[in-house]
């Protein structure tokens, strides 16, 4: 019910309602929070209370995925856009090579594939298909066991370093000021369809589109170091190189 209500927030376009929901942020499930953020960044009227909440610390920036961050960078209101860009830039993690260097000790820690499988389900399966599960937003990962651990570490902590042309992120801005981002799932003379995290798709009619352009960034969010310890990374790397059956969600 929470998720269904979150979908309706964008249609309502009521900033006061959005503010009330943000005041109850800690009571919502993770999926509900993601749906609310996605709704708010698409609607110019709802972006202001979201930016306010990010500035106040009610919502942690690490809860805002790369798709939503990119939408915040393109808010039509220039003053609000400047505030949003400042928040996104404050995330730290601009020095991704430095982050990778700090986590290199994980390469020498013993990992447990079963623990790594649980972490994969929690953090990765919403976008990366594996073992017949997951959404195809990012690359399928069943065949990467032979990839060196250091390369896998960089893939996890510096996802924007190498982006396959098949997984370039696109930005669509509508004439109504809405901003959508995601993989280009379909394009016809009459519509554009984007696929975002968890496989959710948005269809935008050509007649409503002001601009379509790639931003050559990965949809995979940076900042996993805020959610994973070096030992967690060691578990995840062990699973990727020596996969075991994924646990049920």
Helix, strand and coil in the chain, % to nearest 5: 50, 15, 35
Residue range 92-124, pLDDT digits in tens: 545 778 889 999 999 999 999 999 999 999 888
Between 56-70, 115-129, 228-242, the lowest mean confidence (pLDDT) is in 56-70
The pLDDT score that the predictor gives to residue 216 is: 61
Q: Is the pLDDT of residue 80 over 60?
A: yes
Closest CA to 46 of 71, 9, 81: 9
pTM above 0.85, yes or no: no
Q: Is 107 helix (H, G, I), strand (E, B) or coil?
A: helix
Q: Where are the domains of the chain?
A: 2-89, 96-161+220-241, 165-214
- Distance set, CA 129 to CA 10, 77, 125 (Å): 28, 37, 6
Q: With beta carbons less than 8 A apart as the criterion, state whether 182 and 67 touch.
A: yes
In words, the CATH class of domain 165-214 is: mainly beta
The answer to whether 96-161+220-241 and 165-214 have equal CATH topology is no
What the block records as the tokens of 237 is 């790397």
96-161+220-241 classified as CATH 1.10.760.10: yes
The pLDDT score that the predictor gives to residue 237 is: 97
Q: Is the pLDDT of residue 240 over 80?
A: yes
Q: How far apart are CA 193 and CA 9, in angstroms?
A: 21
Q: Percent of the chain, pLDDT > 90?
A: 30
**Residue of 44 and 87 predicted with greater confidence:** 87
Buried b (16+ CB within 10 A) or exposed e, 186-202: eeeeeebbbbbbbbbeb
Please list the residues that pair with 191 across neighbouring strands. 205
The β-bridge relationship of strands 209-214 and 170-174 is antiparallel
């Amino acid at each position: 019910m929470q998720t269904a209500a979150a979908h309706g927030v964008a249609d309502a376009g009521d900033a006061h309602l959005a503010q009330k929901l943000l005041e109850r942020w800690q009571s919502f499930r993770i999926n509900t929070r993601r749906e609310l953020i996605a709704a708010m960044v698409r609607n110019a009227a709802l972006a202001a209370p979201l930016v306010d909440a990010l500035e106040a610390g009610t919502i942690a920036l690490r809860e805002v995925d790369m798709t939503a961050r990119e939408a915040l960078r393109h808010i039509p209101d220039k003053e609000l856009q400047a505030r949003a860009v400042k928040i996104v830039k404050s995330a730290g993690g601009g020095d991704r090579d430095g982050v990778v260097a700090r986590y290199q000790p994980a390469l020498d820690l013993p990992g447990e594939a079963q623990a790594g499988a649980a972490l994969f389900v929690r953090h990765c399966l919403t976008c990366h298909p594996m073992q017949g599960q997951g959404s195809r937003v990012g690359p399928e990962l069943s065949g990467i066991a032979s990839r060196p651990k250091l390369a896998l570490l960089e893939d996890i902590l510096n996802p924007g370093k190498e982006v396959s042309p098949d997984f370039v992120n696109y930005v669509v801005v509508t004439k109504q000021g809405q901003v959508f981002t995601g993989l280009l799932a379909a394009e016809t003379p009459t519509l554009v369809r984007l696929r975002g995290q968890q496989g959710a798709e948005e269809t935008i009619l050509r007649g409503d589109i002001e601009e379509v352009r790639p931003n050559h960034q990965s949809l995979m969010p940076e900042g996993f170091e805020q959610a994973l310890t070096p030992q967690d990374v060691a578990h995840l790397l062990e699973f990727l190189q020596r996969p075991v059956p994924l646990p049920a969600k």
